Amino acid sequence: MKFAIDSARHTPPQQTDDFRALTTPAKSRNRLSPVTTSYFRVFRYFISPLIHASQLFLLNSNTMSAVNITNVAVLDNPSPFSTPLQFEISYECLSALKYDLEWKLIYVGSAEVETYDQLLECVLVGPVNVGNYRFVLQADPPDPSKIPEEDIIGVTVLLLTCSYMGQEFIRVGYYVNNDYDDEQLREEPPAKVLIDRVQRNILSDKPRVTKFPINFYPETNDSGEEPPSNDPVSAETDGDEQLLASPEHPSNDQNP
């Protein structure tokens, strides 16, 4: 699937120092690792402290990116588990790119095994010219038959990623809390999960953003080097995870 979008007026990003770099060893962020707490399990994807923001605002880092996410709004949330997921994504392009951007939405089915991850949607978006852009990414809900029964109820993670030429350069993660919509069912859950009674709540005010440095212009690389690898090992090593803050002034983004 591919979205065609038109250019919008470019607005320079705001400058702020309100962020904190992730200092936990990178290899600890690769897969999910549940730890029991009074509220939810803590995952390796998200090590830095929680933040409270109604919008995403990507802060500038030392590594210049040609594309920055400026806002992600989670639509129709909370909602029943079996309803489609919708994200209104706003981003800015600081320089024109030759190829399309690839956006993916991934549902983490199990904290223990990566094979339970489900790719809910993958779309190409272009052309990528200088300017501000906005589109709605809609995806089917995860297939409960592909999730371990014991992992359907509880907290998991949704990952929104963007790649260019096969190189992932940004990852936005959300905690997702799945629970019954009835107090009695929550207190006395049935042996078999009743999917039609499960409510999905994406914790949209607690996003995690990780940026990966990539080569946006390999064709102009005078040294003739290949674009940097984006496999899990290099992503762990080079990832730059930051806190996000809401912009003080609304963006001038325009609909396509």
pLDDT band at 152 (very low <50, low <70, confident <90, very high): very high
Give 114's contacts (C-beta < 8 A, 6+ positions apart).
31
CATH number at residue 69: 2.60.40.1490
What pLDDT is recorded for position 223? 52
Residue 178 lies in a domain: yes
79, part of any domain: yes
Residue range 5-9: mean pLDDT, rounded: 38
> Please, which residues have CB within 8 angstroms of residue 241's CB and are 6 or more apart in sequence?
21, 22, 29, 47, 48, 208, 209, 210, 211
- The whole-number average pLDDT for the span 106-131 is 94
What pLDDT score was predicted for residue 1? Answer: 57
Tell me, yes or no, whether 251 lies in a domain: no
pLDDT (tens digit, 9 = 90+) per residue, 9-21?
333 333 333 322 3
- Residue 31 domain-assigned? yes
> Has residue 252 been placed in a domain?
no
Q: What is the mean pLDDT of the chain?
A: 73
216 against 223, higher pLDDT: 216
Is residue 247 assigned to a domain? no
Q: In angstroms, rounded to a whole number, what is the distance separating the alpha carbons of residues 240 and 231?
A: 15
State the pLDDT at residue 64.
67
Q: Write down the pTM of the prediction.
A: 0.67
Alpha carbon distance 111, 40 (integer Å):
12
Q: Which pLDDT score, from 0 to 100, does residue 198 have?
A: 98
- Provide the residue range defining the domain that includes 43: 2-242
Q: Is residue 125 part of a domain?
A: yes
pLDDT at 111: 85
pLDDT at 162 over 60: yes
Residue 67 placed within a domain: yes
Number of domains present in the structure of the chain: 1
Task: Kindly tell me if the per-residue pLDDT of 252 is higher than 50.
Answer: no
